[in-house]
Amino acid sequence: MRAGIDLVHVPCVRASLERFGERYLSRVYTAAEIADAGDDPVRRPERLAARFAAKEAAIKALGLADIGVAWTDMEVRRAADGHCTLSLHGAALRQAEALGTDAIALSLTHDGDYAAAVVVVERRDRPFS
């Protein structure tokens, strides 16, 4: 197993939304993530910050920093029961497959000015190098 964790300051995400708007959203988040964040001016930055933290945690857990993946190659999906999962696309998916990834667990949280995420990656039959 391998884990990644990240902490995001919600006011930084709020500032990016105000300064860059749609350009920021489309560069970092998928259409589904943007829709899932909603329009509430308080909850939207919190939800987006948690998703950003998840992407950073995934980069750490999967060793993606030197590969050059798009932010949208990692997508947080929320089920009807509120449980979130991490879905990979493009270069992130190829790296996960190359590592022999069996499962990815995701946990998100946000409280006040901070959002955090933990990603745990399980590989089949061989230790991480």
Task: Give the active site residue among 9, 55, 60, 89.
Answer: 60
Q: Quick check: is 110 catalytic?
A: yes
Enter the tokens of residue 36: 């899932």
In contact, 102 and 124? CB cutoff 8 Å: yes
Rounded distance, CA 92 to CA 85, Å? 15
Enter the tokens of residue 47: 């939800």
Return the HEC string of 40-82. CCCHHHHHHHHHHHHHHHHHHHHCCCCCCCCHHHEEEEECCCC
In contact, 57 and 13? CB cutoff 8 Å: no
Strand 84-88 and strand 2-9: the pairing is: unpaired
Active site residues: 60, 110
